[in-house]
Amino acid sequence: MCVGGVAADEASLSWADVRDWGLEGRAFSDTEKYFDRLPARAKGVVRDAVWNLSRHSAGMLVHFRTDATEIHADYSVTSENLAMPHMPATGVSGLDLYARDTDGILKWVAVVAPKTQSVKTRIVSGIHPGERDYAIYLPLYNGTEHLRIGVPTGTRFVPIAPRQQRPIVFYGTSITHGACASRPGMPHPAILGRRLNRPVINLGFSGNGRMEAEVGQFLTEIDAAVFVIDCLPNMAADEVTAKTQPLVRQLRQAHPQTPIVLVEDRSYSGSWLLDGQRERNQGSRAALQAEYQKLRDGGVSGLHYVNGETLLGSDRDDTTDGSHPSDLGFQRHADAMEPILRAALEGEA
C-alpha cells in the first residue's frame, strides 16, 4: 500500500496525462470539468445537491500498459475533506491500482492514502518484471482536478483507450456512490464491472438517488447495456409508488430493448430487532414490488428484479453503520446482483 508520502523524482520519470486518452466511467464528454459525471447542461436542471455530487469521480478508471517496475501518480482532489467519519481517505480520495493477471483478471495491487489535496507519490515499486495491463480507479467521494501517471524514463508506457462496449449504468444512492468502501475498486458497481468484464457508469448520488425525471433525461442519453435502478434507500414508500413507473417508462421510451433492473432496499443491519427499520424496509419494498407488477401487467418487457434480502448477510456484520456496506457488504451486493445482470446481458427472462 502507498501511504501517500513517497515523493517522485521528476528527473527520472516520464508522465502521461490521463485526459490524453480518456477514462472509463465517464458517460458525457460535454462536462464542465473533465472528471465530472454529468454534463455541464445538467447544472440548473438536476437539483443542486445532485449537481454537486456529480462532480465526484466515482466509478471512473483509466487503463494503461507498462513494463515499469514502479508506478507513480500526480493528482489532486477538489475538496480538502479527504475522509469521512465512517469512510477512510483511501476510499473517499484515494487512487486504487489493479493489474491484469495471466488469465486476464484484474487483481488489486496498491492504493494511495492521501494526506493532502495534491499528491505526487510512488503508488508501488518492486513490481515483478514484465509488461502487463493496469487500471487505476479514481476517488469515490471527492472530485478529481487532474491525474498524471508516471513511470521511470526509458520504460514502456502504452495508453489503453476506454472500451467501447455498452456500459452497465447504475443510478442510485450513497451505496451505489461507494459509501463506505475502503478503496475505489470495492463498491459493487466496480466489482461487477471486473467480474462481468464490462464498462460501468456510476451515477450514485449520496442521499439523493430519488428516481427523478431530471436525472432520467440524462440517463436516456447513455447507450447502456443495462440500467440498474437502485434508489430505494433514499425513498419512502409513497415516493416509490409515485416515481417508479414514470422513470421506467422514460427509459423504455428512449431504449425499447435495454434491460432494466429494479433493486429493492437493502436491509438495515438492526432491522431484525428494530421495528422502525424493519417497517421502513418492508414499506419501500412492497411499493416497488407493486409498481414492478403493474409495469409487467402493462406490457413493459425486459424488467429484472433484485430482492433486498439478498443484498446483505443474515449475520448483520457487513455494514459500517447499519446502513452503508463495508467491503464485505459490497462483495455480497455483487454476489446478489451478478446472476441477474448476467441474465439481463444475455437477454434471458
What residues have CB less than 8 Å from 172, skipping those under 6 apart?
203, 204, 205, 209, 228, 229, 230, 231, 233, 263
pLDDT value of residue 269: 95
pLDDT value of residue 5: 46
Q: What is the CATH number of the domain that holds 313?
A: 3.40.50.1110
- Looking at the structure, tell me whether residues 156 and 172 fall in a common domain: no
| pTM recorded for the entire structure | 0.96
pLDDT value of residue 131: 98
Report the candidate in 14, 8, 13, 20 with the shortest Cα–Cα distance to residue 159: 20
Residue 42 lies in a domain: no
Grid cell 430493448 in the structure block, residue: 257
Read off the C-alpha cell for 131: 509488461
Backbone angles phi, psi at 98, to 5 degrees: -125, 155
- Looking at the structure, tell me whether residues 243 and 130 fall in a common domain: no
How long a stretch of residues is the chain? 349
Share of the chain above pLDDT 70, in %: 96
Other beta carbons within 10 angstroms of residue 284's beta carbon come to 24
- Looking at the structure, tell me whether residues 70 and 185 fall in a common domain: no
Q: What is the CATH number of the domain that holds 83?
A: 2.60.120.260
Q: Are 291 and 260 in contact (CB under 8 A)?
A: no
What residues have CB less than 8 Å from 349, skipping those under 6 apart?
343
- Looking at the structure, tell me whether residues 210 and 251 fall in a common domain: yes
- Looking at the structure, tell me whether residues 263 and 325 fall in a common domain: yes
Q: Which of 160, 176, 198 is the last residue of a domain?
A: 160
- Looking at the structure, tell me whether residues 228 and 301 fall in a common domain: yes
Residues of the chain with pLDDT under 50: 1, 3-5, 348-349
Domain count, the chain: 2
Report the candidate in 69, 77, 90, 73 with the shortest Cα–Cα distance to residue 17: 73
Domain range for 232: 168-345
pLDDT value of residue 327: 98
Q: At what angle do helices 237-254 and 275-297 cross, to 10 degrees?
A: 30
